[in-house]
């Protein structure tokens, strides 16, 4: 009986299939993150470069934002394996807003996934344990024209994964035992262009944001595994072999189209976004999600926010099988706007996963 080293590592590579869905559920933005990431047509956006840069045209003052920070946990289960994160603190949106005479500028970093994650997998006589440090972020520069509702954006998307894992396999009938030690490192940087606009009427706002497919500037992917085998090729033999084909990646966002509608009556604001995202692992096909947000309160006072989003696709059979929800409270103290809230997400399609955490952040205008 010949044992293939790649088989003993199969559990490890399968775990990464759940990451894109988990990343899209994490909140981004002081207002938007508390409305289930709804913000393409909102008023006085606090994360315009991520949702719709043309909304920067509404801003009147310079501002510094450190918002949408989250302490959360991620848990996923699939075919005898579990994927989870440790509690952590990471800024999800950092920006510097500069209002000029003709243009509004924003330099920003949006952190869509960051943390230390662990895997445990056990199936028949095979088991696998691993840890990974994963980061996914989008940064760039946005330039909105004050005279017309139009903005241009230059984007840089970066993904990084560092992993280490140990796999054990046993075949008692043949007296064969295999232990594999695996480590890998993946880094990717690509750049893209964004174009956006919005049209605002008395009580209605319509917004559109388009991000192009990325041009890869840097791609680094290496990995290795060492396999210790007892009982092969002959009974009682002990062999050590190496394999340099171990690879682990994180799916990058490529093309993206966001379309939003906003209705504002007095202190009530109702929002809905349609989001189409193309991913590097599945080009020319888009995932589709719909989100709904509600905000109540004066622009210079206290506000209550809540939202719900849902993904649609061939693997989603009913409403609630893949959803995210959030709720929050925001207040203003002189030039400082602050907020705190909670978020929760659940998926029960090809995998079972859940996310939960606390959102908090602030923006200072000057």
Residue pLDDT, tens place only, 227-278: 999 988 888 889 998 888 777 666 777 889 999 999 999 999 999 999 999 8
Residue 289 near residue 275, CB atoms below 8 Å: yes
> Which of 59, 75, 115, 124 is CA-nearest to residue 91?
115
* Banded model confidence at residue 187, pLDDT cuts 50, 70, 90: very high
Query: What value, to the nearest 5°, has the Cα angle with vertex 271 and ends 266 and 274?
Result: 165
Share of the chain above pLDDT 90, in %: 49
Q: Is the pLDDT of residue 330 over 70?
A: yes
In 231-351, which ranges are E strands?
238-243, 253-265, 268-279, 282-297, 303-312, 322-333, 336-348
pLDDT in tens, 23-81: 556 899 999 999 999 999 999 899 999 999 999 999 999 999 887 667 777 777 766 77
45-50 long-range contacts, CB within 8 A, separation 24+: 46/93, 46/337, 46/363, 47/93, 47/95, 47/108, 47/110, 48/106, 48/142, 48/144, 49/95, 49/106, 49/108, 49/110, 49/140, 49/142, 49/153, 50/93, 50/108, 50/110, 50/138
The pTM of the whole model exceeds 0.95: no
Name, in order, each residue with C-beta under 8 angstroms of 125's C-beta and a sequence gap of 6 or more. 169, 170, 171, 172
What band does 172 get if pLDDT is binned at 50, 70 and 90? confident
Measured from the Cβ of residue 132, the count of other Cβ atoms closer than 10 Å reads 24
* Banded pLDDT at 203 (limits 50, 70, 90): very high
Per DSSP bridges, beta strands 303-312 and 322-333 are antiparallel
Q: What is the mean pLDDT of the chain?
A: 86
Percent of all residues in the chain with a pLDDT value above 70, rounded to a whole number: 90
* Helix or strand (DSSP H, E) at 48: helix 48-51
Give the residue-averaged pLDDT of 319-326: 90
> Phi then psi for 89, rounded to 5 degrees?
-125, 125
State the Cα–Cα distance between residues 219 and 250, nearest whole angstrom.
12
């Amino acid at each position: 009986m010949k044992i293939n080293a790649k088989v003993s590592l199969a559990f490890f590579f399968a775990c990464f299939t759940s990451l894109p869905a988990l990343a899209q559920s994490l909140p981004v933005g002081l207002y938007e993150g508390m409305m289930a990431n709804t913000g393409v047509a909102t008023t006085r956006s606090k994360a315009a470069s991520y949702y719709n840069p043309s909304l920067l045209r509404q801003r009147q003052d310079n501002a510094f934002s450190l918002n949408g920070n989250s302490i959360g946990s991620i848990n996923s289960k699939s075919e005898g394996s579990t994927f989870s994160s440790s509690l952590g603190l990471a800024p999800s949106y950092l920006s510097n807003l500069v209002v000029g005479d003709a243009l509004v500028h924003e330099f920003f970093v949006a952190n869509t996934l960051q943390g230390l994650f662990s895997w445990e997998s056990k199936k028949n006589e095979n088991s696998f344990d691993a840890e990974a440090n994963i980061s996914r972020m989008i940064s760039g520069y946005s330039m909105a024209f004050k005279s017309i509702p139009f903005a241009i954006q230059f984007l840089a998307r970066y993904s990084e994964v560092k992993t280490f894992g140990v796999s054990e396999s046993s075949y008692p009938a043949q007296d064969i035992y295999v232990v594999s030690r695996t480590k890998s490192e993946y880094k990717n940087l690509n750049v893209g262009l964004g174009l956006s606009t919005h049209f605002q009427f008395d009580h209605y706002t319509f917004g559109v944001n388009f991000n192009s497919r990325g041009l890869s500037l840097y791609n680094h992917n290496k990995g290795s595994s060492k396999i210790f085998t007892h009982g092969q090729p002959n009974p009682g033999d002990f062999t050590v072999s190496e394999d340099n084909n171990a690879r682990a990646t994180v799916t990058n966002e490529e093309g993206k189209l966001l379309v939003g509608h906003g209705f504002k009556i007095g202190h009530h604001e109702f929002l809905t976004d349609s989001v189409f995202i193309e991913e590097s692992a599945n080009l020319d096909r888009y995932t589709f999600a719909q989100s709904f947000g509600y905000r109540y309160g004066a622009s210079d006072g206290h506000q209550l926010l809540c939202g719900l989003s849902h993904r649609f696709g061939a693997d989603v059979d009913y409403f609630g099988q893949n959803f995210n929800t959030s709720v929050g409270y925001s207040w203003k103290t002189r030039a400082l706007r602050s907020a705190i809230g909670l978020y929760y997400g659940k998926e029960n399609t090809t995998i079972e996963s859940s996310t939960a955490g606390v959102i908090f952040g602030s923006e200072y205008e000057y």
